[in-house]
């Protein structure tokens, strides 16, 4: 599995905030956001809402009967001559892929974009075993050359400027330093074309897997996915177990939502459907087709009524684009594979809450994610549920310090005793005097100094409302 750096959230976030390149590219996210809004305007709010509603129903039903639909999917895949691997962990999935590769004497693998394979750290594992695995999605290819992690679910290299990409290509591929985007894409295309021809195995992700037909659907914009599924002798598709949908016709709903929410497209440039390996009467396609169905902690979400909804996610990235926090710190700060609002739910559940204690708090709970999410996943309320575990859960999961707990108890005493509440205000209004400058408080001691580093704090009123109320009721004035 990929190294987990979730505990460094604060540090990485600050680094991103100071990085002018990162800040610049984060501003580009507004394109996605605007494109999405336009796509919605085009389809009309009413239809959009109807699609969302339908999609939620389908997901709710599927997740409720997940094992049933997964079994149906596996049966269909096998019926069409494919092989199915049930992997409980990333390691099991990696081993399976490696085994298949070894059995076929594979030296070179072409890969299309797959977040699940990122989660498994698959390319790394393959490389260590001496098998070259090349990412063929342009963004992923850039990331691979730079030895970084995806910055965004659907735009992995959005944090790189074209100058940076040009440098990278010059350095790694010995390419001419050009900085116009078509020329850069041309360099990548030429480098990748050779790989496409030589590869003996293709690995892809899965956007949706249709249970009743055993078909997997792959949504791409570059056509590389289709090369990976059709050119090499062997195709392995890897899916998180939540990707199954019951029926062929459900695809119409999800495809309409996915591309609009992700990029504002009515449909992506390519949607590839694969049902098993090549049949005897077909001219192309792989000789072998494998479907890896990965759990890797998803069952924990499945068995968790408060968080189960996270499995509805179709990884469109809309919540990242809308999130004010992601918009400032970007994808790397989150320290694992899935960043942004949905990452702050999924990551703690997959890598373990004790390792990712910062993430559920790294949100202002503004709810913009839920508003744009095509599945209306209630991310802010799930973050609150995770916070509860961090405050009140088992000791190893707890984050709240004893000081915080004590402060909470002190606060509760005030809440329960209005006289003390009033008194606390009066005491504070006396204590604040030495801190006041021009009627404001420009400095507070730790742990509150985070506020005053950039903002003044207002003083406690010398006469709180509850004291004024008496004059108000006596028909007093309002000034």
Partner 1 sequence: MQRAPKRVALFVTCLVDQFFPLVGEGVVKVLRHLGLEVDFPPAQTCCGQPAFNSGYRWEATVAARRFLEVFKDAPAIVAPSGSCVSMVRVFYPTLFHNDPQRLALARQIASRTYEFTQFLVRVLGVSDIGARYADGLVVTYHDSCHSLRELGIQEEPRALLRAVQGVRFVEFAHHEVCCGFGGTFSVKYAPISTAILQDKLENIADSGAQVLVATDSSCLMHIEGAMRRRRMAVRPVHIAQFLAEGLP
Selected binder of ligand SF4 within 199, 313, 325, 386 (CB under 6 A):
313
| Side-chain half-sphere CA neighbours of 255 within 13 A | 21
Percent of the chain that is helix, strand, coil (3-state, to 5)? 55, 10, 35
Site string for partner 1, 379-398 (x = CB under 8 A): --x--x-xxxxxxx------
Yes or no: say if 396 and 354 are a contact pair by the CB < 8 Å rule.
Answer: yes
Backbone φ and ψ of 428, nearest 5°: -60, -40
**What is the rounded distance in angstroms from the CA atom of residue 238 to the CA atom of residue 244?**
12
Q: Considering only residues 209, 329, 342, 349, which one is a binding residue for partner 1 as defined by CB under 8 A? A: 329
Q: Does 343 participate in binding ligand SF4 (rule CB under 6 A)? A: no
Distance in Å, CB of 254 to partner 1, minimum:
24
Q: For the window 257-276, what string marks contact with ligand SF4 as x by the rule CB under 6 A?
A: ----x---------------
Which pair of tokens denotes residue 61?
């039903």
Determine if 218 is a binding residue for partner 1 (CB under 8 A).
no
Q: Is 186 in the site for partner 1 (CB under 8 A)?
A: no
Q: What does 314 bind: ligand SF4, partner 1, none (CB cut-off 5 to 8 Å by kind)?
A: ligand SF4
Look up residue 263 and give its two tokens: 């990029």
Q: Which of 17, 406, 423, 430 binds partner 1 (CB under 8 A)?
A: 17
The answer to whether 45 touches 222, Cβ cutoff 8 Å, is no
Please identify which residue in 106, 238, 377, 386 interacts with ligand SF4, judged by CB under 6 A.
Answer: 377
Tell whether residue 292 is a contact of ligand SF4 (CB under 6 A). Answer: no
Q: Which residues contact 293 (CB under 8 A, 6 or more apart)?
A: 70, 73, 74, 84, 85, 86, 87, 239, 241
CB of 53 to partner 1, least distance (A): 17
- Of 35, 265, 361, 435, the one binding partner 1 (CB under 8 A) is 361
CB 105 within 8 A of CB 80: no
User: Is residue 257 packed enough to be buried (19+ CB in 10 Å), middle (13-18) or exposed (0-12)?
Assistant: buried
Q: Does 466 bind partner 1 (CB under 8 A)?
A: yes
319 binds ligand SF4 (CB under 6 A): yes
Is 189 exposed, middle or buried, given 0-12, 13-18 or 19+ CB atoms closer than 10 A?
Answer: middle
Tell me the closest approach of the beta carbon of residue 318 to ligand SF4, in angstroms. Answer: 4
384 binds, among ligand SF4, partner 1, none (CB under 5 to 8 A by kind): partner 1
Q: How far, CA to CA in Å, does 418 sit from each of 422, 425, 473? A: 6, 11, 19
Pull the structure tokens for residue 245: 């949908």
**Residue 408 touching partner 1 (CB under 8 A):** yes
- Contact with ligand SF4 (CB under 6 A): which of 241, 244, 342, 382? 342
> Which of 327, 339, 340, 341: binder of partner 1 (CB under 8 A)?
327
Of the candidate spans 143-151, 190-198, 279-287, 364-372, the one that interacts with partner 1 by CB under 8 A turns out to be 364-372
Report how far Cα 340 is from the mean position of its chain's Cα atoms: 6
**Contact status: 472 vs partner 1 (CB under 8 A):** yes
Query: Which of the residues 445 through 464 are near partner 1 (CB under 8 A)?
Result: 447-448, 450-451, 453-461, 463-464
CB of 269 to ligand SF4, least distance (A): 20
> Scanning residues 401 to 430, which ones bind ligand SF4 (CB under 6 A)?
none
- Distance separating alpha carbons of residues 207 and 69, to the nearest angstrom: 16
CB of 125 to partner 1, least distance (A): 34
**Beta bridge pairs of residue 218:** 272
Closest contact distance (angstroms) between CB of 456 and partner 1 is 5
Query: Which among 183, 235, 243, 234 has a CA at the least distance from the CA of 211?
Result: 243
Separation CA 246–CA 69 (nearest Å): 6
Q: Exactly one of 416, 433, 445, 474 binds partner 1 (CB under 8 A); which one?
A: 416
Residue 377, binding choice from ligand SF4, partner 1, none, Cβ under 5 to 8 Å by partner class: ligand SF4
Q: Tell which one of 316, 349, 359, 441 touches ligand SF4 (CB under 6 A).
A: 316
How near is the Cβ of 265 to ligand SF4 at its closest, in Å? 15
The CA–CA distances, whole Å, from 286 to 76, 183, 226, 235, 274 equal: 17, 32, 11, 6, 10
Q: Is 311 in the site for ligand SF4 (CB under 6 A)?
A: no
What is the crossing angle of helices 45-64 and 250-263, to 10°?
Answer: 120
**CA pair distance 111, 134, nearest whole angstrom:** 6
CA-to-CA distance for 301 and 197, rounded, in angstroms?
A: 40
Q: Is 315 in the site for ligand SF4 (CB under 6 A)?
A: yes
How far apart (Å, rounded) are the C-alpha atoms in residues 25 and 159? 5
Rounded to 10 degrees, the C-alpha dihedral 37/41/46/47 comes to -90
Buried b (16+ CB within 10 A) or exposed e, 29-53: beebbebbeebbeeeeeeebeebbe
- The minimum distance between CB 309 and ligand SF4, in angstroms, equals 9
375 makes contact with ligand SF4 (CB under 6 A): yes
Contact residues for partner 1, defined by CB under 8 A: 10, 13-14, 17, 324-325, 327-329, 361-368, 370-371, 381, 384, 386-392, 400, 404-405, 408-409, 411-412, 414-416, 418, 421, 425, 428, 440, 442, 447-448, 450-451, 453-461, 463-466, 468-469, 472-473, 478
Residues of this chain that bind ligand SF4 (CB under 6 A): 261, 313-319, 342, 372-375, 377
């Amino acid at each position: 599995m990929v190294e987990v750096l979730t505990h460094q959230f604060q540090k990485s976030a600050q680094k991103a905030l100071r990085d002018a390149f990162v800040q610049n590219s984060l501003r580009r996210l507004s394109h996605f956001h605007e494109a999405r809004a336009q796509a919605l305007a085009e389809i009309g709010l009413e239809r959009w809402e109807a699609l969302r509603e339908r999609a939620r129903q389908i997901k709710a039903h599927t997740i409720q009967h997940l094992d049933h639909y997964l079994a149906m999917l596996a049966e269909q895949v096998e019926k069409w001559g494919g092989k199915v691997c049930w992997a409980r962990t990333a390691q099991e999935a990696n081993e399976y892929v490696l085994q298949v590769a070894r059995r076929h004497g594979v030296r070179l693998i072409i890969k299309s974009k797959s977040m699940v394979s990122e989660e498994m750290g698959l390319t790394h594992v393959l490389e260590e075993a001496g098998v070259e695995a090349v990412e063929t999605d342009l963004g992923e290819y850039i990331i691979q050359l730079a030895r970084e992690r995806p910055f965004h679910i659907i735009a992995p290299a959005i944090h790189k400027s074209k100058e940076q990409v040009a440098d990278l290509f010059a350095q790694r591929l010995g390419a001419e330093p050009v900085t116009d985007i078509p020329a850069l894409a041309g360099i990548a295309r030429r480098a990748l074309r050779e790989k496409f021809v030589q590869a003996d195995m293709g690995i892809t992700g899965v956007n949706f897997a249709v249970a009743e037909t055993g078909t997997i659907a792959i949504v791409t914009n570059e056509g590389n996915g289709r090369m990976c599924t059709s050119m090499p002798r062997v195709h392995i598709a890897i899916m998180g177990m939540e990707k199954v949908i019951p029926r062929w016709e459900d695809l119409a709903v999800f495809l309409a939502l996915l591309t609009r929410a992700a990029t504002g497209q009515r449909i992506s440039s390519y949607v590839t459907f694969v049902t098993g390996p090549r049949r005897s009467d077909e001219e192309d396609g792989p000789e072998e087709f494998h479907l890896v169905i990965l759990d890797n902690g998803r069952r924990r979400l499945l068995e968790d009524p408060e968080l189960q909804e996270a499995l509805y996610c179709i990884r469109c990235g809309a919540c990242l684009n809308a999130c004010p926090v992601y918009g400032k710190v970007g994808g790397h700060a989150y320290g694992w594979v899935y960043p942004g609002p949905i990452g702050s739910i999924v990551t703690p559940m997959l890598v373990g809450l004790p390792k990712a204690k910062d993430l559920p708090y790294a949100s202002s709970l503004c709810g913009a994610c839920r508003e744009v999410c095509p599945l209306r996943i209630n991310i802010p309320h799930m973050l609150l549920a995770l916070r509860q575990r961090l405050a009140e859960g088992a000791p190893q999961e707890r984050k709240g310090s004893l000081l915080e707990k004590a402060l909470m108890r002190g606060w509760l005493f005030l809440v329960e005793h209005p006289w003390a509440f009033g008194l606390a205000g009066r005491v504070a209004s006396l204590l604040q005097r030495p801190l006041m400058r021009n009627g404001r408080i420009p400095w507070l001691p730790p742990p509150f100094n985070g506020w005053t580093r950039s903002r003044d704090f207002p003083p406690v009123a010398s006469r709180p409302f509850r004291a004024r109320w008496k004059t108000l009721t006596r028909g007093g004035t309002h000034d």
